[in-house]
Amino acid sequence: MKASSVFLLAALILVAMCLCAQSPIPSIKSVEPLSAKAGAAVKANGENLSKQSVVQVFLTDGKNDIPCQITEQTATAITFTVSAKAKPMRYSVAVLTPGKEPKFIEQPVRLEVIP
């Protein structure tokens, strides 16, 4: 086997190992209910939502990120409590991933906090 072939094979193996080591990206597809008061429980449904993928849920208006307490968590759902700090308005839901380089990922779902 030529040295260039060995190098190419080693590079491909290294790339495959790096791709396999990455955590799946959390994805929230929906929230129930669509509107809630501060202190209410909300269930977010989606994929890759286990404790290994998500360590915190936030409500965000794009400037302010309000942490919410997670009360239940599985691979496909997270139940969280709307923070008392959330003022009545429409928020995006976001998650924080674990690890050395945590990522704040805004999700394509909205929750309206009502008075």
Residue 98 has pLDDT above 70, yes or no: yes
Q: Is residue 19 part of a domain?
A: no
Q: Is residue 14 part of a domain?
A: no
CA distances from 91 to 7, 37, 103, 109 (A): 50, 12, 19, 9
Residue 107 has pLDDT above 60, yes or no: yes
Predicted confidence (pLDDT) per residue in 55-97, tens digit: 999 999 999 999 999 999 999 999 999 999 999 999 999 999 9
Q: Is residue 34 part of a domain?
A: yes
Percent of the chain with pLDDT over 70: 81
Domain housing 31: 26-113
Residue 9 forms beta bridges with which residues?
A: none
Q: Is residue 13 part of a domain?
A: no
Q: Is residue 10 part of a domain?
A: no
CATH number at residue 95: 2.60.40.10
Q: Is residue 77 part of a domain?
A: yes
Note if the pTM is more than 0.85: no
Cis before 24? omega within 30: no
Q: Is residue 62 part of a domain?
A: yes
Q: Tokens 């260039």, residue?
A: 4
Q: How far apart are CA 115 and CA 110, in angstroms?
A: 16
Count up the domains in the chain and report the number: 1
